[in-house]
Amino acid sequence: MTGWILLGALAAGPIWIGLGFWLSRRTWRQARRLAQRRRGHDRLAELGTLAGGLAHEIRNPLSTINVNLQLLAEDLARHDDDEHNRLARRLAGVRTEADRLKEILDDFLNYAGRHELHPVRTDLRQIVSDMTDFFASQADAAHVVLRSLPGEGEIPVEVDVNLIKQAVLNLMINAVQAMPAGGELILRLAARGAQAVLEVIDTGTGMDAECRARIFDPFYTTKGRGAGLGLPTTRRIILEHHGVIRVDSELGKGTRFTVTLPLAGAQETKGTRT
């Protein structure tokens, strides 16, 4: 009996050795992939820092250029002949492009720059109320009817108020741009379970499947102006607040962005449980 056991062990030995070798190789491959991902994340973080620094370095001389273009425009305005008017028109084109470059740099810095959150407990309804008041004149100029449906009762959240206001503003601007002939923009609030829910609804042109899939991609835009960073910046702000943003849209039927954020009370309960 002992001999059979010994023979069985000898026969199984190569199998166990092979299995151990296979597991070792598998573990090594997993470790290598993990290390590669970490290097990739570190590289992306380094590139982001470099890009942000470069954008700052570009913005400083660009501000000087804009100031001098303004001074040149004032000098040319003192003359009213064909030659100076021709130069003034050319200068106006240069100033327009310089302003556009500044907008792109500002949008990029908002997207790629480091966000230091300063969260405070606040009523999300107050943030939306402030933004609707602020945006009312712009909506009116675009022939857009702006409506706010705040719901009932406080909707407490713990957020960086300025960043959340920026996110809401980006959504409102996007909505108005999607309604070139005017329409209706609705901001609807509710508390559902442990979540605060904000819906930004427009009656604009809507989006097809490809646009919906790419709408949060940096530099993707279907508009003539802008760098395509408003919605990616909004998404980043929401994610940094442990929230979620999603889009529902159909061509010719408008668009609804839904933002969910943790309720402040829910966050405190979760913290006490852990």
Considering the chain, what is the average pLDDT of its residues? Answer: 79
Residues 129 and 108 in one domain: no
C-beta atoms surrounding 29 within 10 Å: 10
Handedness of CA 96, 53, 174, 172 (dihedral sign): negative
pLDDT digit string, tens, across residues 108-145: 766 666 667 889 999 999 999 999 999 999 999 999 99
Same domain, 170 and 39: no
Same domain, 108 and 93: yes
Task: Identify whether residues 139 and 46 lie together within a single domain.
Answer: no
List, for residues 172-208, the tens digit of each pLDDT value.
Answer: 999 999 999 999 999 999 999 999 999 999 999 898 8
143 and 124 in a common domain:
yes
Categorize the per-residue pLDDT at 272 as very low, low, confident or very high, splitting at 50, 70 and 90: very low
Q: How many domains does the chain have?
A: 2
What are 122-131's pLDDT values in tens digits?
999 999 999 9
Domain that holds residue 209: 120-273
Q: What pTM did the predictor assign?
A: 0.65
Is residue 191 domain-shared with residue 89, that is, in the same domain? no
- The verdict on 54 and 146 lying in the same domain is no
